[in-house]
């Protein structure tokens, strides 16, 4: 079926908007761009067609909404007992019932510190609330649009039209790929991506297409400032006149800034929260609202903000927060926000008057709410100043008068409906330039992006003006980072590269390792200066803050025949790199066989993106000159059979490695992983004797600890895991069994939830067997209480219910132990250590959405506070980690409880650093890390909170 329509989709943080035009629309204006009115629930049982679909999901409780109240004009998925609500009604319900609304899913797509494919939203919701991943939430909005469109145009399904989906210009490759993944999940497989600031300008161009020569006659540089719900997106577009007609080139885009309407709503919510606490009286407990209540309050503040910033705004607006449960009405609180108050908070707080030379304030991460790390500096004007300084050379080169400031401004975003914000930004930019900037009129900021997406598609057909964009950034392959000199890289795709044109680095040849882990680092820059971008293959120094690291490319590539080479074998092939900016706007990289150009390997970014791994990979130590000799030692013990090796030689292997490589506590992470690879390639050699197995298990676990934080650790664990079911070869050897459990305890952090649950089975079985004095039997490897406690405490990816059960089991044993010092008291200390780990507020490797709920931990702490901390070792340790401050109110304990813990810590003369952990967010020192993990982390491996 031939395509009938061009459809532009603005999948916004706050609202989703759709516009369309006939695919044969003509530039004479007879075929205008039309908004698609999206049918949605606006009240229970009431459907209306509106131009904006709030990008919000509401997850009702079972039986909360009758089927008739959520019925839509098209068939729905009947597999859900209680279907989710999307759109206007979802926003209304979310403002009334805390903890059940998913909002700002788009912001999570660029949050690299979490697994964006995991079901983590609504953030901080109760365990009985269904959760979805940021990608699945985004896909659900697109699937809703598809159903609504297909209901209205059954003969022209949305998936068969020409689709343009917009994304922030600042989205990196990972966030763009996740957006495409969401579209595919929604059944939209063929589409283009367009940067939102460009879409805004395309909308303006289309609306003035008959008079562009006159409208842009005095314009040379346009700054597009798009402040949406979740991001501030900046772009520069150069205007050149050729034969009286404007030629448009996008010359710069901003870095990702998580700063938008959500931040403003949050600031107002904090002010309102303080007012409500003040109204409650000083005799009330000093506590924050829960995360779900704050989310509800933000929705109320958003509505008040829009009301008070409107042209005909009242003097004040009431913000009402409902109670919960049976006290929904009785627990209601209401305060007033005034027009002047909101104006001051938003105008002066987010658009302060700053100098053109101001730079973005650096320091500790900014506000963290609902798990999202918002921008450190909330001043939009300072981010604009920083952006213009980054592009000062390009600005100067592009303008005849040599100024480094734009002369024209185009604004987008609902916040700019407020005249005060427009005036403040014009005032600020005018002071920088020394003259007023011309303001291009945006008649409807809510829908400009969607309309502009359609105008862009029309421009590809020659039916509307086009912006010459190409690649927004230059991309660089990072070369050897092990040296001591400056970091260098090769340009693999210059800024401005044409879409769809492949670039082959013909003058650069690389050796590609097959069948073994390989890792590639790519950096990008959107600020290349006045000179032309570097040429493909050009060497560039990357020691400059303007170069930003992308998610790593870490994989195992195999030969064309698909055969996996035997462990220990080496195979390399000569390749060249080929890159291209795809039609959907993402970077694509291939390794091309030098002798057979038809043989290619696609390199894909790691979209789950282990943030710790990315940080730890930034600097690598130089390879040890004794590495080959060390591997030879390993090969002599565990290599090919037939070598005469004594038991003494086997036992001395670790000491021999330390003689070659130095104290093993100083072995850096790359070296450890190389040693693990060597040990794993010779894993069969562990079977030769009990001594072989003990040493192999000990060294293998040590070299892979803590199981995460370095490129391809996940792949290494995939290779290691089958060993678990095989068990210990020499099961009658007590020390071999102990080393077995030490290995799995050391690497458990990197295992997935399924594997950790399998470990949990043996954990529970062993502890029960030890308690009853029985035999483990079967394939379960017997382990001591100490082995099991240390292992169980490290299982951070198991479901919360299991953690709570383990914690209850540990608490029973803590309370049963005598209060006097002695052997039993020492046992209680071990249980306390494990309880502090299993219920920690800040996990070491698991996702923060899997921490034990605060209400459960509060009960544990009540029991711990009943102990004599001077007599019971580890009571303070457990309390500190159960109450550690995170700045995420869904995980942080009530202030009153934390103050009780601080008082007890002071009473036992606890170190100040320990007390501080309960009062504010701090990074752990090495001694604390060693105590928590049971041993130190490898040098160069840093845990990222």
Closest CA relative to residue 237, chosen from 164, 169, 173: 169
Angle at alpha carbon of residue 794, lines to 791 and 795, rounded to 5°: 95
Checking if the pLDDT of 324 tops 60, the result is no
Q: What whole-number distance in Å separates Cα of residue 477 and Cα of residue 520?
A: 7
Q: Is the dihedral of CA 177, 178, 183, 186 positive or negative?
A: positive
Phi, psi of 919 (to 5 degrees): -100, -30
- Residue tagged 């597999």 (tokens): 79
- The predicted pLDDT at position 545 comes to 76
Mean pLDDT of 514-540: 77
Which structure tokens are listed for 829?
A: 């200390």
pLDDT confidence tier of residue 356, bands split at 50, 70 and 90: very high
Helix H or strand E segment including 7: strand 5-11
Secondary structure string (H, E, C) spanning 710-776: CCCHHHHHHHHCHHHHHCCCCCCCHHHHHHHHHHHHHHHHHCCHHHHHHHHHHHHHHHHHHHHCCCC
pLDDT at 908: 93
Q: Above 50 in pLDDT, residue 285?
A: no
Q: Is the separation of the CB atoms in 449 and 16 below 8 Å?
A: no
Tokens, residue 696: 């192999």
* φ, ψ (nearest 5 deg) of residue 257: -125, 110
Stretch 671-696: mean pLDDT = 94
If one counts every other C-beta atom within 10 angstroms of the C-beta of residue 270, the result is 19
Residue 768: is its pLDDT beyond 70? no
Number of other CB atoms surrounding residue 193 within 10 Å = 19
The DSSP output letter for 708 is -
pLDDT at position 486 over 80: no
Residue appearing with tokens 């502009």: 452
Left (φ > 0), alpha (ψ -120 to 50) or beta: where does 104 sit? left
The CATH fold assigned to 5-194 is Nucleotidyltransferase; domain 5 (3.30.420)
Q: How does pLDDT run across 4-31, given as a tens digit for each residue?
A: 999 999 999 999 999 999 987 654 445 5
pLDDT over 50 at 365, yes or no: no
Q: What is the pLDDT of residue 779?
A: 46
Residues 6+ apart with CB under 8 A from 453: 8, 9, 10, 19, 164, 165, 166, 194, 199, 202
Q: Tell me how far apart the alpha carbons of residues 587 and 606 are, in angstroms, rounded to a whole number.
A: 13
937 with 929: CB under 8 angstroms? yes
Strands laid side by side in the 522-525 sheet: 539-541, 488-493, 474-478, 522-525, 548-549
CA-to-CA dists, residue 789 to 692, 778, 799, 828, angstroms: 26, 21, 18, 12
Q: Note the pLDDT tens digit of each residue in 233-262.
A: 999 999 998 887 889 998 888 887 888 888
3-class secondary structure per residue, 879-931: HHHHCCCCCCCCCCCCHHHHHHHHHHHHHCCCCHHHHHHHHCCCCCCHHHHHH
Structure letter (DSSP) for residue 289? P
Q: pLDDT confidence of 527, banded at 50, 70, 90?
A: low
Per-residue pLDDT, averaged over 707-732, amounts to 89
pTM equals 0.78
Instruction: Please report where in the chains the tokens 């390879």 appear, as a residue.
Output: 623
CA-CA-CA-CA torsion sign (701, 703, 709, 712): negative
Of the listed ranges 404-408, 452-456, 869-873, the least confidently predicted one is 869-873
Question: What pLDDT, on the 0 to 100 scale, is given for residue 439?
Answer: 96
* Model pLDDT for residues 68-85, shown as the tens digit of each residue: 999 999 988 665 667 899
pLDDT of residue 336: 92
pLDDT per position as a tens digit, 559-596: 765 554 444 445 788 899 999 887 666 788 899 998 88
Question: Distances in Å between the alpha carbon of 714 and those of 124, 686, 720, 796?
Answer: 27, 23, 10, 16
Q: Is the pLDDT of residue 505 over 60?
A: yes
pLDDT higher than 60, residue 819: no
Rounded to whole angstroms, the Cα distance separating 663 from 675 reads 14
In DSSP notation, 34-76 reads EEPPEEEEEETTEEEEES-EES-EE-PPTTSS-GGGG--SS--
Give the confidence band of 943 by pLDDT, cuts at 50, 70, 90. very low
In whole angstroms, give the CA distance from residue 390 to residue 495.
15
Count CB atoms within 10 A of the CB of residue 1. 7
Instruction: Give residue 373's pLDDT.
Output: 63
pLDDT at position 385: 95
**Quick check: 577 and 508 in contact, CB under 8 A?**
yes
Q: Which residue in 633, 200, 140 sits closest to 416, CA to CA? A: 200
Residue 528 has pLDDT above 60, yes or no: no
d(CA 470, CA 449): 19
Q: Determine the pLDDT at residue 514.
A: 83
194-205: average pLDDT? 94
Cβ contact 748:783 at 8 Å = no
Dump pLDDT digits (tens) for 170-184: 887 788 889 999 999
What number is the average pLDDT over the span 446-468?
Answer: 90
Q: At what angle do helices 690-704 and 713-720 cross, to 10 degrees?
A: 160
How high does pLDDT run on average in the chain?
A: 84
95 in Cβ contact with 77 (< 8 Å): no
Give the pLDDT band of residue 615 (cuts 50, 70, 90).
Answer: very low
How high is the pLDDT of residue 769?
55
Q: Where are the domains of the chain?
A: 5-194, 261-342, 481-524+535-609, 615-786, 799-945
Residue 343 has pLDDT above 60, yes or no: yes
CATH 3.90.640 is held by the domain 261-342: yes
The predicted pLDDT at position 39 comes to 98
Q: By the 8 A CB rule, do 703 and 682 touch? A: no
For residue 724, is pLDDT > 60? yes
User: What are the phi and psi torsion angles at 11 (to 5°)?
Assistant: -85, 85
Q: What is the pLDDT of residue 447?
A: 96
d(CA 445, CA 81): 38
pLDDT at 633: 94
């Amino acid at each position: 079926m031939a395509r009938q329509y061009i459809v532009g989709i603005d999948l916004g943080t706050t609202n989703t908007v759709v516009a369309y035009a006939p695919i044969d629309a003509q530039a004479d204006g007879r075929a205008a761009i039309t908004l698609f009115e999206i049918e949605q629930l606006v009240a229970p049982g009431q459907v209306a067609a509106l131009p904006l679909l709030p990008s919000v999901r509401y997850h009702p409780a079972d039986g909360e909404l009758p089927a008739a109240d959520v019925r839509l004009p098209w068939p729905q998925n009947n597999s859900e007992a209680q279907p989710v609500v999307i759109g206007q009604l979802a926003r209304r319900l979310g403002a009334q019932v805390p903890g059940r609304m998913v909002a700002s899913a788009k912001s999570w797509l660029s949050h690299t510190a979490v697994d964006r494919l995991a079901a983590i939203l609504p953030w901080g919701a109760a365990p009985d609330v269904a959760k979805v991943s940021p990608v699945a939430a985004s896909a659900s909005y697109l699937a809703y649009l598809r159903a609504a469109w297909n209901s209205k145009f059954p003969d022209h399904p949305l998936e068969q039209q020409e689709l343009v989906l917009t994304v922030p210009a600042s989205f990196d490759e990972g966030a763009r790929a996740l957006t495409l993944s969401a579209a595919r999940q929604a059944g939209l497989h063929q589409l283009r991506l367009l940067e939102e600031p460009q879409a805004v300008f395309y909308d303006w161009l289309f609306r003035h297409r008959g008079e562009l020569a006159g409208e842009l006659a005095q314009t040379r540089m346009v700054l597009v400032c798009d402040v949406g719900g979740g991001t501030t997106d900046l772009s520069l577009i150069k205007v050149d006149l050729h034969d009286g007609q404007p030629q448009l080139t996008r010359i710069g885009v901003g870095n990702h800034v998580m700063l938008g309407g959500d931040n403003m709503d949050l600031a107002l919510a904090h002010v309102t929260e303080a007012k409500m606490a003040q109204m409650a009286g000083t005799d009330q407990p000093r506590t924050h609202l829960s995360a779900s209540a704050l989310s509800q309050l933000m929705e109320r503040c958003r509505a008040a903000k829009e009301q008070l910033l409107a042209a005909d705004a009242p003097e004040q607006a009431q913000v009402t927060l409902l109670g919960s449960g049976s006290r929904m009405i009785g627990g209601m609180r209401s305060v007033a926000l005034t027009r002047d108050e909101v104006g001051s908070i938003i105008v002066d707080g987010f658009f302060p008057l700053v100098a053109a030379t101001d730079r973005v304030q650096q320091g500790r991460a900014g506000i963290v709410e609902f798990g999202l790390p918002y921008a450190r500096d909330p001043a939009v004007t300072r981010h604009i100043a920083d952006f213009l300084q980054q592009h000062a050379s390009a600005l100067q080169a592009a303008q005849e008068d040599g100024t480094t400031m734009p002369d024209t401004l185009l604004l987008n975003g609902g916040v700019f409906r407020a005249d005060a914000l427009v005036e403040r930004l014009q005032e600020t930019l005018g002071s920088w330039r020394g003259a007023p900037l011309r303001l291009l009129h945006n008649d409807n900021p809510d829908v400009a992006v969607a309309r502009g997406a359609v105008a862009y598609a029309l421009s590809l057909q020659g039916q509307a003006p086009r912006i010459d964009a190409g690649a927004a950034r230059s991309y660089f392959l990072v070369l050897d980072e092990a040296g001591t000199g400056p970091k260098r890289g090769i340009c693999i795709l210059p800024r401005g590269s044409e879409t769809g044109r492949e670039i082959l680095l013909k003058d650069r040849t690389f050796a590609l390792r097959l069948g073994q882990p390989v890792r590639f680092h790519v950096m990008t820059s959107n600020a290349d200066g006045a000179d032309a971008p570097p040429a493909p293959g050009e060497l560039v120094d990357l020691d400059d803050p303007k170069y930003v690291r992308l998610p790593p490319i870490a994989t195992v590539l195999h030969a064309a025949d698909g055969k996996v080479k035997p462990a220990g074998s080496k195979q390399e092939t000569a390749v060249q790199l080929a890159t291209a900016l795809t039609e959907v706007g993402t970077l694509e990289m291939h390794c091309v066989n030098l002798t057979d150009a038809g043989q290619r390997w696609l390199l894909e970014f790691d979209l789950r993106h282990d943030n710790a791994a990315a940080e730890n990979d930034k600097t690598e130590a130089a390879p040890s000159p004794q590495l080959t000799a060390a591997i030879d030692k390993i090969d002599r013990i565990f290599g090919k059979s037939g070598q005469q090796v004594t038991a003494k030689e086997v036992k001395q292997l670790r000491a021999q490695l330390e003689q070659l490589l130095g104290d093993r506590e100083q072995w850096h992470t790359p070296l450890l992983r190389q040693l693990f690879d060597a040990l794993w390639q010779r894993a069969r050699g562990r079977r030769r004797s009990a001594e072989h197995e003990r040493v192999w298990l000990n060294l293998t676990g040590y070299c892979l600890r803590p199981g995460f934080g370095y490129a391809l650790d996940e792949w290494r664990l995939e290779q290691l895991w089958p060993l678990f079911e095989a068990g210990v070869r020499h099961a009658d050897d007590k020390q071999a069994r102990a080393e077995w459990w030490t290995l799995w305890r050391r690497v458990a952090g990197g295992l997935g939830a399924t594997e950790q649950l399998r470990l949990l089975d043996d954990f529970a079985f062993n502890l029960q067997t030890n308690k009853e004095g029985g035999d483990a039997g079967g394939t379960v490897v017997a382990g001591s209480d100490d082995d099991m406690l240390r292992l169980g405490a490290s299982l951070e990816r198991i479901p919360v219910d299991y953690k709570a059960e383990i914690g209850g089991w540990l608490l029973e044993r803590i309370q049963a132990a005598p209060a006097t010092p002695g052997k039993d008291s020492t046992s209680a200390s071990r249980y306390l250590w494990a309880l502090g780990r299993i219920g920690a507020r800040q996990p070491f490797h698991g996702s923060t959405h899997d921490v034990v709920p605060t209400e459960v931990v509060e009960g544990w702490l009540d029991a711990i506070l009943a102990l004599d901390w001077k007599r019971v070792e580890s009571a303070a340790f457990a309390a500190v980690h159960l109450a550690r401050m995170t700045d995420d109110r869904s995980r942080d304990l009530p202030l009153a409880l934390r103050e009780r813990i601080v008082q007890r810590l002071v009473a036992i003369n606890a170190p100040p650093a320990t007390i501080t952990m309960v009062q504010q967010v701090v990074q752990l020192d090495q001694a604390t890390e060693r105590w928590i993990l049971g041993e130190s982390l490898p040098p160069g491996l840093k845990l990222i909170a």
